Structures are given as C-alpha cells and as structure tokens.
Amino acid sequence: MKADLLDGVSFRVGLLSGLRSRRLNGQAIGVMITASHNPAPDNGVKIVDPMGEMLEQEWEAYATRLVNAPSDQELLDTYKALASQLKINLSDPAKVIVGRDTRPSGHSLVTALADACEATNIQFTDYKILTTPQLHYLTRCINTEGTPKAYGKISEQGYYEKLSEAFVRALRGKKVQGQLIVDGANGVGAPKLNELLKIIPKDVTGFDCKVVNDDVLRPEILNLDAGADFVKTKQRAPPSPNLFPVFEAAP
C-alpha cells in the first residue's frame, strides 16, 4: 500500500498493540514497519506477539474494526468497546516496541505509532532500522528476560551473536566450498547481513560470502530489478554487474 496513506493506519495499529499488550499482562508487543519486497513508495505494518510469533488470528478482526472506523469519535468508541469486550483495564501497564526498514516513509509511520502509544499511556521503544526477524527476536528476548526460557541478549548485537554461534555449530565437521553471493535488493537485509558476517568467524567456518545490491542510501532503487521478487516474477537473474556466476541467493 502507498505509504502516504498509512499514517492513520499506523496510529490505529499503535492502539491495537497497546490493547494486546494489556490483554497479555503487559508483555511487549512488536510492530514492524516494512513492505518487504514491494516498491520503495509502499509500506506496511506488522504486529508481532510476545514470543516472536505473528499476531493471534482472532485479533485480526479487532484490527479491522479499528482501522475501518470512519471518524475520530467512532475510533474512540471502537477502542473503548474492544477494551470492554476483552475485559482490558486501560490503566494497566503496556509495552510496545517498533522497528522499521530503510524506506523514508518509515519515519512518519513510527511517529504516528508513537503518538498512539503516548495518547494511551503505553511504554514505547523505537529500535530504529531492523530486519523483520530482528524485531521478532527482540520481542521474544524482552518477554523472556530473567526467566528459565531467556532467549538471548536484548540487542541487535545479541541477535548476530546468537546466529553466529548456531551457524558455527551447524557447519562443524563440514567443508564449505565456493563463494555465496547474496543479492540484498538494496534493502535493509544487506547492511544487516554485512554486520552478521563480521561476527561469523571465517577462519573457523571457511564461509565466504559477498553481499551485492547493498545500496540503502538511494531509497528509490529498493527492490528495483533486484532481489528475490525479481527472480520470482521474471524467472531470470537480476541484471546486476555485481552478481558473479558462482552461486546466487536472494533474500
């Protein structure tokens, strides 16, 4: 969906996320602002439940009711009606965290989300630019911190360390051959993968990986003739001069 139509949607997602958090005894709810493989002018909003899973399906209907409220008064009435229906105390603590991809429109959508959280007294944390899996990871880490099921460090660095450790274990006793070329589609995954590659010990794993199409400073070329969606729809390799004919993978 075109990003310039989404400020109101993002605000309402903030309201819903706060309700969800309160319904789950104040556990953190994640919100990811991204449109994945869509063109740069698009954007979207995804809600992440406490263990890093997608929003419970039943709540999608509640989201629809909030988003489709045609006026401010009807939005307020719907919000209060949902709280009453779900037996949610609007004075209870709530926590929402957010991440976004590199699309410029993410700034305004985060602001709209933050406005909703401020208006309804929800603790709000902006983790800035992340991949969607990183936001899922952080959500789970926050909600399991200090428990026997603690998932990991509550940081982007913790995400890289956890993946690196698992990757080293997976390659133990195996010999890696050739170079992996990853087409980053000029999106958020490219710089984040480069950060992960700094952590993975090449001398231990023998893993050789190169990221191409990693220009996130020109948002207009996001997913332009690059990435997994290009391969899926065109059934051919992207026309990038940086793709070597060794082994290609698109996120």
What's the CATH code of the domain at 20?
Answer: 3.40.120.10
User: Within this chain, do residues 220 and 141 fall inside the same structural domain, yes or no?
Assistant: no
Indicate the angle between helix axes 132-144 and 156-171, nearest 10 degrees.
100
- Domain presence at residue 109: yes
| Tens digit of each residue's pLDDT (9 = 90 or more) over 152-178 | 999 999 999 999 999 999 999 998 999
Q: Is pLDDT of 95 > 80?
A: yes
Percent of the chain with pLDDT strictly greater than 70: 96
User: Within this chain, do residues 69 and 125 fall inside the same structural domain, yes or no?
Assistant: yes
Rounded CA separation 232/28 (Å): 35
| Tens digit of each residue's pLDDT (9 = 90 or more) over 30-71 | 999 999 989 999 999 999 999 999 999 999 999 999 999 999
pLDDT band at 245 (very low <50, low <70, confident <90, very high): low
Task: State residue 57's pLDDT score.
Answer: 96
Task: State residue 53's pLDDT score.
Answer: 98
C-alpha angle 86/90/94, rounded to 5°?
95
- Domain presence at residue 167: no
Rounded CA separation 15/88 (Å): 13
Tell me which of 10, 21, 36, 105 is the catalytic residue.
36
Range of the domain at 24: 3-154
* Total domain count, the chain: 2
Task: State residue 230's pLDDT score.
Answer: 86
- Domain presence at residue 188: yes
pLDDT higher for 36 or 243?
A: 36
Rounded CA separation 39/142 (Å): 32
User: Within this chain, do residues 185 and 74 fall inside the same structural domain, yes or no?
Assistant: no
Short-list 71, 67, 60, 65, CA closest to 84: 65
User: Within this chain, do residues 133 and 181 fall inside the same structural domain, yes or no?
Assistant: no
User: Within this chain, do residues 190 and 226 fall inside the same structural domain, yes or no?
Assistant: yes
- Domain presence at residue 161: no
| Tens digit of each residue's pLDDT (9 = 90 or more) over 12-37 | 999 999 999 999 999 999 999 999 98
| Domain-terminating residue out of 99, 126, 154 | 154
| Domain-terminating residue out of 119, 154, 189 | 154
Which whole-number Å values give the CA distances from 145 to 27, 59, 151, in the listed order? 11, 25, 7
Range in 100-109, 124-133, 159-168, 241-250 the model is least confident about:
241-250
Instruction: Identify the burial level of 71 via C-beta atoms within 10 angstroms of its C-beta, where 0-12 means exposed, 13-18 middle and 19 or more buried.
Output: exposed
Q: Is pLDDT of 239 > 90?
A: no
User: Within this chain, do residues 34 and 140 fall inside the same structural domain, yes or no?
Assistant: yes
Annotated catalytic residue 108:
no
Task: State residue 246's pLDDT score.
Answer: 47
- Domain presence at residue 122: yes
Give me the mean pLDDT over the 176-183 stretch.
91
- Domain presence at residue 164: no
Single pTM value for the model: 0.93
Which residue in the block uniquely carries the two structure tokens 């009453």? 84
- Domain presence at residue 128: yes
User: Within this chain, do residues 136 and 186 fall inside the same structural domain, yes or no?
Assistant: no
